[in-house]
A = this chain, B = another copy of it.
């Protein structure tokens, strides 16, 4: 049996970033609130929370539907820029989620390939990954590498490609319904984490095969997603 064969039997793990490995969802949500209000769009914060993690383009369409506000291209670009500025103010409080680093290092030690796939853009994603202080380099796929972000499957498909593992052998770990929808469309197994602030039921109804509290809880139950020790 080749080394490659052994690895593929174990599969690979594809992680979302915000709310899954780093504790940044609530800051993003308030940054969107500020950015939207600057454009004269008032939306309740919980409604924004439920859309965080989807691609910026879909987010803008969802806003259109809910507010009836017409969003032209210039305004959409300003909104994105406003959000980046506002997030920079909130980002000082962003920390890794409990067990995130230990989980990634455990997978590395077990020779289970892993990658990170986020709907965000590369500069901010890189800054987020740096918070994790993981020694090993792993593929990082962002919206800059694919045309359509979540809930399209492209980000996870690209991450599986980067690892050389068939997507059907991958477990996708995410905190939002958009991660789970993208996982299902990609034909991967979706696992939910509560650490982005969605309810367990929301994640299960979106197709989560299992739901854990946070990375440390997943680390304690790796056997349940078919990852064997050594």
Residues of A near any B CB (own CB < 8 A): 19, 23, 25-27, 29-30, 33-34, 37, 42, 44-46, 49, 90, 93, 95, 97-98, 194-202, 214
Using Cβ atoms and an 8 Å threshold, which residues of chain B touch A200?
199, 201-202
Which residues in B have their C-beta under 8 angstroms from that of A23? Answer: 44-46
Number of copies: 2
Docked Cα-Cα span, A33 to B93, in Å, equals 8
Q: Please state if B25 and A27 are interface contacts (CB–CB under 8 Å).
A: no
- Measured between alpha carbons, how far is A45 from B98 in the docked complex, in Å? 11
Q: How far is the CB of A128 from chain B (nearest CB, A)?
A: 15
Could you tell me the distance in whole angstroms from the C-beta of A38 to the nearest C-beta in chain B? 11
Cα distance, A98 to B43, chains bound together (Å): 8
Contact A98 B44 (CB under 8 A): yes
Cα–Cα, bound, A27→B93 (Å): 13
Q: Give bound CA distance, A214 to B202, whole Å.
A: 18
